[in-house]
């Protein structure tokens, strides 16, 4: 079952679902979702002459990514064909009986901006800011302003709460992230990690 605005408000009031700061619930809470705003931090992928990125090499990923902080009153220009990692302004806490889906807003989709390439899911138990995979599929640059509503979360209630929710007990790689996070795939078992 997908949560309606009434269900979302009730869960927020009960405190088991957390979205903070939720500065304007009247605007941010939609009929079946919550709009999230764009944060100020971005990870930009540099054009380099490296032959490829090896997912199991943390050093290669770090060398390929630069961090950008957008100051108050400034914009981040997303050029055609660019892919950057952004973050939500809001921090979320998803309870063990819900799963959250990160979706784009149609108004930005109509400008050819997508907010996730593949990671559109927040597992039960996830806590932190959400990393956005931002792409410009259009032919013109688009100015993104921190604080603008960039994405929306929908919530689906699980048939029963997760026995092993996302979190520190599982060693979850992105728990409590405070800004955009580059890939930590090198921590996966197939690359010698413990995930």
Residues annotated within the binding site are: 105-110, 123, 131-133, 152, 166, 173, 177
Asked if residues 191 and 56 have their Cβ atoms less than 8 Å apart, the reply is yes
Q: Across the chain, how many H-helices and E-strands are there?
A: 4, 13
Asked if residues 117 and 111 have their Cβ atoms less than 8 Å apart, the reply is no
The helix or strand, by DSSP H or E, that contains position 44, with its residue range, turns out to be strand 41-45
Residues paired with residue 156 on neighbouring β-strands, in sequence order? 2, 99
Return d(Cα 150, Cα 34) in angstroms, integer.
11
Binding-site residue ranges for dCTP: 105-110, 123, 131-133, 152, 166, 173, 177
Catalytic residue among 60, 103, 133, 157: 133
Distances (CA, A) of 97 to 11, 121, 134, 166, 177: 11, 14, 28, 12, 21
Distances (CA, A) of 64 to 23, 57, 84, 188: 35, 11, 12, 20
For 140, the token pair is 């013109």
The length of the chain in residues reads: 195
Please confirm, yes or no, whether 103 is among the known catalytic residues: no
Residues belonging to the active site: 133
């Amino acid at each position: 079952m997908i949560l309606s605005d009434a269900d979302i408000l009730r869960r927020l009031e009960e405190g088991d679902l957390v979205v903070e700061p939720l500065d304007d619930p009247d605007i941010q809470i939609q009929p079946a979702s919550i709009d999230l705003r764009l944060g100020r931090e971005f990870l930009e992928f540099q054009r380099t002459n490296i032959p490829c990125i090896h997912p199991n090499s943390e050093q290669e990923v770090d060398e390929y990514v630069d961090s950008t902080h957008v100051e108050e009153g400034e914009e981040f220009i997303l050029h055609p064909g660019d892919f950057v990692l952004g973050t939500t302004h809001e921090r979320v806490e998803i309870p063990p009986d819900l799963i959250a889906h990160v979706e784009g807003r149609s108004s930005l989709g109509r400008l050819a901006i997508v907010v996730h390439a593949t990671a559109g899911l927040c597992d039960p138990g996830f806590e932190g800011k959400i990393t956005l995979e931002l792409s410009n599929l259009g032919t013109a640059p688009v100015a993104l302003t921190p604080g603008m509503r960039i994405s929306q979360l929908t919530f689906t209630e699980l048939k029963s709460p997760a026995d092993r929710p996302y979190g520190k007990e599982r060693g979850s790689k992105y728990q409590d992230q405070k800004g955009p996070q580059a890939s930590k795939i090198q921590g996966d078992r197939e690359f010698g990690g413990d995930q």
